[in-house]
Amino acid sequence: MDTRLTVIGTGYLGATHAICMAVLGYEVLGVDVDADKIDRLRSGELPFFEPGLPELLTKAIESGRLRFGTSFAAAAEFGDVHFICVGTPQQKGSDAADLSYVDAAVHALAPHLTRRALVVGKSTVPVGTAARLTELLRELAPAGPEVELAWNPEFLREGFAVDDTMRPNRLVFGVASEWARDRLHAAFRPIIDGGAPVVVTDLATAELVKVAANSFLATKISYINAMAEVCEATGADVQDLAAALAYDDRIGGRFLQPGLGFGGGCLPKDIRAFAHRAEEIGVGHAVAFLREVDAINGRRRARTVELVRELLGGDLAGFEVAVLGAAFKPNSDDIRDAPALEVARTMHGQGAKVRVYDPAAMPNAQRAYPELRYGANAFDVARDADAVVLLTEWAEFREIDPEAMGRVVRRRRIFDGRHALDADWWRAAGWEYRALGRA
């Protein structure tokens, strides 16, 4: 493949993109300002948990096609297409996205761009950012208008990052010229040949596709969780309700799983940033419902604490509570805006003696919340517990034998925050079983 790629920002998104592109046959240079991260990647160590990716990192390094560095001058010299993959977290004290890393990446790269090149934004940004960055690139790059900007939003899910990158359900190319479109085609040739459909748009539409997709997914989750609130008030069962809705393929069952709701580094901050940006440009009313989507999601966390308190007889103080799960979802070690940890911390704040176990997120959780106690496995944290609270639906928790766990706890009380367990099985083993949205 003669198109040479650079990937600026080697976090979750960038590292995955760089590794997969090298495996697909491209020469790739990954660049980051964090020298420590670069050293780890160079030595074949992936700084985060993602099934299948460590093996591909080794393979890519061994192929000689993947290199890492910290020099933007070297990146400009090396690459024909430069992917910007830095984070856009929520700003402190505001719902807006923090664009400082995106801006810093452009400021660092552009002054070295002395020949025709394509800069491709992959980060999730407020609509209008690409137009602003186009101007900035023209100003800062010695090659001036020879340097073009395109937007190529990324839809990968943590836990499925390799598959989502190698076999995406679509590629979106936001471009301002045919040349940029052709460059992007060249940069994704094997994936397009593999059957991925390409949607070519303008820059603003490409920026919007990403936030519109995440907003839709968040809305679907909050929709079923709003139904759970109604079920709780009426004695109906949200699991059965969701199952019945899912048979209608216009509705579909995916992202209709009721429970503790969404978290992570994407959905929560993306819907807030979108609502904020829409307000800025005078169309806040169009997406005002996203505020309610966020509020429904927050209420599930509060309701979980309330139901565990009820399970314990009205007070959390002094009770031993075993928490199963810390990551924002299974098959991830990511604890950003993790519903499980927010619930654990609230219960701890109300006097419960909380012990947490997660199959992958323990180091991250311990670093972020040293005030919580942790255990070595599910049975370890459940020892002498007055209640067991399942908050992230890892497969290993589904397989727990309620009889065996019943022998280590003080009281057989289980709260299933993710509808992950077979309620009948647990009840048959003498457990008091509670879940959101169910009688």
Binding site for ligand UGA (CB under 6 A): 124, 154-158, 214, 217, 221, 255-257, 259, 261-264, 266-267, 328-329
Tracing tokens 């924002």 back to the chain, one arrives at 328
| Catalytic residue status for 266 | yes
Task: Tell me how far apart the alpha carbons of residues 324 and 344 are, in angstroms, rounded to a whole number.
Answer: 10
Sheet with 27-31, strands from edge to edge, namely 66-69, 27-31, 4-8, 81-84, 117-121, 147-151, 171-174, 198-201
Nearer to ligand UGA, 342 or 386 (CB): 342
Buried b (16+ CB within 10 A) or exposed e, 189-205: eebeeeeeeeebbebee
Question: In the bound complex, what is the minimum distance in angstroms from residue 210's beta carbon to ligand UGA?
Answer: 7
Spatial contact of 57 and 46, defined as CB atoms under 8 Å apart: yes
Spatial contact of 5 and 26, defined as CB atoms under 8 Å apart: yes
Question: In the bound complex, what is the minimum distance in angstroms from residue 134's beta carbon to ligand UGA?
Answer: 23
- Report the candidate in 431, 261, 255 with the shortest Cα–Cα distance to residue 343: 261
Tokens matching residue 371:
């005030």
**Where would I find the H helices in 329-422?**
339-349, 362-368, 378-382, 395-398, 402-406
Nearer to ligand UGA, 418 or 434 (CB): 418
Task: Tell me how far apart the alpha carbons of residues 238 and 388 are, in angstroms, rounded to a whole number.
Answer: 21
Task: Tell me how far apart the alpha carbons of residues 358 and 323 are, in angstroms, rounded to a whole number.
Answer: 9
Catalytically active residues, by annotation = 266
